[in-house]
């Protein structure tokens, strides 16, 4: 389906729009691509989409976002209402240094047990790293990092200012508190202003 949308300029333009934010320094505004409600199950080829700054992939059937890491200009990404089942499914986001706004609400994150058989080695957080401490000792707001190690690995490297996680099984007050501590740049969480 993504190949159909990106196969011609005319087809692609049907899904594009320009968004101008009053606080933006970008004179032309942001280029937004809406690929929502298309029943997409995977991302596939994104070579034709590298210029996109805002991407709406909401209300699809995505279980993986592999391929998005190539979209280095992406600043806003909507993945709400898909079938993402774990934080590891979000791994490509770690490479998106321009990403500021992320919506992963109403997915299945935390609803399924982690398939540890897919890992060839144990969690890096179970080992001791130099000195006398280990990740078992790291506690953020009474929550051990080990409890959310997948989330820690993904979110600690992001510079998000806005994040939507509501509607996922993993989302509770402890998890939200954990996210706020792990991402000091966060200003909005689940539509509530922080600080």
CATH number at residue 56: 3.80.10.10
At 189 the pLDDT is 98
Is residue 34 in some structural domain? Answer: yes
At 170 the pLDDT is 95
Domain count, the chain: 1
DSSP string for 112-123: S---GGG-SS--
Is residue 118 in some structural domain? Answer: no
* Global model pTM greater than 0.85: no
Is residue 117 in some structural domain? Answer: no
| Pair 158, 99: CB distance under 8 Å | yes
Is residue 69 in some structural domain? Answer: yes
User: Length of the chain in residues, anyone?
Assistant: 195
One pLDDT digit (tens) per residue for the chain, 195 residues:
566 666 566 666 777 876 655 555 555 567 899 999 999 999 888 888 899 999 999 999 999 999 999 999 999 999 999 999 999 999 999 999 999 999 999 999 998 665 444 444 444 544 444 444 455 555 555 556 777 889 999 999 999 999 999 999 999 999 999 999 999 999 999 999 997
Please state, as a whole number, how many other Cβ atoms lie within 10 Å of the Cβ of residue 75: 18
Closest listed residue to residue 109, CA positions, set 135, 81, 144, 136? 81
| Pair 149, 141: CB distance under 8 Å | no
Could you give the CA distance from residue 41 to residue 19 in angstroms, rounded to a whole number?
26
With vertex at residue 183, the alpha carbon angle to CA 182 and CA 187, rounded to the nearest 5 degrees, is 140
At 66 the pLDDT is 95
The order of strands in the sheet holding 101-103 is 16-19, 30-34, 54-56, 76-78, 101-103, 162-164, 188-189, 192-193
Domain with 135, as residue range(s), is 2-112+127-193
Could you give the CA distance from residue 53 to residue 43 in angstroms, rounded to a whole number?
16
Is residue 120 in some structural domain? Answer: no
Is residue 76 in some structural domain? Answer: yes
Is residue 146 in some structural domain? Answer: yes
Is residue 139 in some structural domain? Answer: yes
């Amino acid at each position: 389906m993504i190949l159909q949308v990106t196969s011609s300029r005319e087809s692609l333009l049907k899904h594009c729009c320009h968004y101008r934010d009053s606080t933006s320094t970008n004179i032309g505004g942001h280029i937004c691509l809406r690929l929502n409600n298309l029943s997409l199950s995977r991302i596939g080829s994104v070579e034709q989409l590298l210029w996109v700054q805002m991407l709406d992939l909401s209300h699809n059937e995505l279980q993986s976002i592999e391929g998005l890491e190539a979209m280095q200009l992406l600043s806003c990404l909507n993945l709400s209402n898909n079938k993402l089942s774990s934080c590891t499914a979000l791994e490509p986001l770690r490479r998106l240094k321009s990403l500021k706004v992320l919506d992963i609400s109403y997915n299945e994150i935390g609803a399924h047990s982690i398939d540890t058989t897919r890992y060839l080695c144990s969690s890096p957080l179970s080992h001791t790293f130099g000195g006398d401490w280990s990740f078992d000792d790291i506690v953020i707001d009474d929550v051990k990092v080990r409890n959310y190690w997948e989330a820690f690995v993904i979110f600690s490297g992001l510079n998000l200012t806005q994040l939507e996680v509501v509607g996922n099984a993993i989302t509770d007050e402890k998890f939200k508190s954990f996210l706020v501590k792990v991402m000091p740049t966060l200003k909005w969480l689940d539509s509530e202003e922080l600080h």
